[in-house]
Amino acid sequence: MSYSISEKLTIKQLFMFALPTIFMFIFMSFYTIVDGIFVARYISSDALAALNIAYPFLWFLVAVSMMFGSGGSAFVAHRMGMKRLPLANKSFTLIVIFLFSFSVVFSVTSLFFIEEICIFLGANETLLPYAVDYLFVLMLFAPLNAIQWVFQCFLVTASKPNLGFYFALVGGCLNIVFDYIFIVPMGMGIAGAAYATVLSWVIPSVGSLIYFLRNKEGLTFARPHFHMIVLGRSMFNGSSEMIGQLAQAFTTILFNILMMKFLGANGVAAITAALYCDYLMISAFFGFSVGIAPVISYHYGAKNIDYLRKTIRQCFLIVFIASIAIYIICAIGSPYIVSIFFEEGTEVHSIAKAGLVIFSLSFLFKGTNIFASALFTALGNGLVSGILAFSRTFLFIVINVLVFSYFWGATGIWYAISAAELMAIFVLLYYTKLLRTQYQLL
């Protein structure tokens, strides 16, 4: 059964509405994880370390895409809730055109400086050839990645989360199949992993484009009018999502540099496996948040405050229960998770297994912080959303990593992330007063 964002859904219906988006984000994160598994198993741990060094650069573009996707969908859904669909369609079209144009300029410019970028990101002489081969392919087709992210957000706003899930599912299957074909029989090395990832971008981006071109009712393309307020509000509303992605890129670079210092390439490969696990788990929380956000934006625009108050409380409860379950799975299953990437008995396996147990503590708090940040985005308060995101994904992590690693070396790096998420909970507690007084939602 399909639901619309305009309906007053029960919490069960709301979860079912968000479920395709949850799976969609999981499959989209799975692209990179599958790359890592095949690279680690069929090339080398050095190649895996190089992949983790190169990939954060793409996150700069993903950050901008998520900003326009989440912020723009909140803006558009709010206008739909106010019964201003023609304006919503024009705003949607302008956002897509602007983002695609930006991604082309970003992609072309970066191709001229690929080697310099990889060196800046921390690649040494051993890892540099792998990193250059991988990043070059990704940046050559980066605009596809940009528009797939923004389209996936707007498919939820169009009440078509199932369609986004199907696109992501097909793309993920293509990635798995062609990772094997390109790396194992064809021997294309790390470039093969990159090409497989690119193929996984094609289905969501092109499929979504065809849907919005052919759709005649609801959210669809329309002749855009350039209004800076549309882009400005989208950027402001989605600033937290952009900050989160940029911070993830920067902190990953920091992890790589410090792990290289303390444990060498094995340390970088070990934390790469942990970050893949992190990427997969938080994708579920992001999927839930993105799936719920347009509903919140719509009903906030429609002034259905009593419905929102009850729904938001139930959402926080769902996220809390899921956080505990994910922590238990990762903490107990760490030996098995790490064995997907590395052979048992190797040094890198031992480092990753011990680190993941510590790292998994962060999952107790991540979900609540992610949902809270997305909630303020949905309400149009990009400032508070940005503060929450900046605190948990950048400020607290950087401070903790530098301090903890100074006193406890590589072990301190593993603890730093969990400590940062816990500290962010206290920032969230401070801003819950806003939800009670200004929004009357808790």
In angstroms, rounded to a whole number, what is the distance separating the alpha carbons of residues 369 and 258?
Answer: 26
Question: Do the domain assignments include residue 30?
Answer: yes
Taking a C-beta distance cutoff of 8 angstroms, is the pair 259, 271 a contact?
yes
CB crowding 362-380: b at 16 or more within 10 Å, else e? bbbbbbbbbbbbbbbbbbb
Report the 10 Å Cβ neighbour count for 314: 15
How far is 325 from 333, CA to CA, in rounded Å? Answer: 12
Q: Render each residue's pLDDT in the chain as its tens digit; 442 residues.
A: 566 666 776 778 777 877 877 887 787 777 677 778 888 888 887 888 888 888 888 888 888 888 888 788 877 877 877 777 778 888 888 888 899 999 999 999 999 999 999 988 878 888 889 999 999 999 999 999 999 888 888 887 787 878 877 888 888 888 889 999 999 989 898 999 999 989 988 988 998 899 888 887 778 888 877 778 878 887 877 776 677 778 778 888 888 888 888 888 788 888 888 888 887 888 888 888 878 887 888 887 777 788 888 888 888 988 999 999 999 988 898 888 888 888 888 888 888 888 888 989 999 999 999 898 888 888 878 788 888 888 888 889 999 999 999 999 889 999 998 899 999 999 988 888 887 777 777 6
Domain total of the chain: 1
Please report whether residue 211 resides in a domain.
Answer: yes
Q: Find the DSSP H helices in 43-160.
A: 45-54, 56-66, 72-81, 85-111, 114-120, 128-140, 142-157
Give the sign of the dihedral formed by CA 114, CA 119, CA 52, CA 126: positive
| Cβ partners under 8 Å of residue 264, min gap 6 | none
Domain range enclosing 360: 11-437
Residue 399 in any domain: the answer is yes
Residue 337 in domain: yes
Burial of 343 (0-12, 13-18, 19+ CB in 10 A): exposed
Question: What gap in Å lies between CA 55 and CA 57, rounded to an integer?
Answer: 5
Q: Residue 310 falls within a domain, yes or no?
A: yes
Structural domain includes residue 74: yes
User: Which residues, at least 6 apart from 279, have a Cβ–Cβ distance to it below 8 Å?
Assistant: 29, 32, 33
Compute the chain's Rg from CA coordinates: 21
Domain annotation covers residue 2: no
Distance CA 364, CA 352 (A): 20
The burial class, CB within 10 Å (0-12 / 13-18 / 19+), for 302 is middle
In a domain, 5, yes or no: no
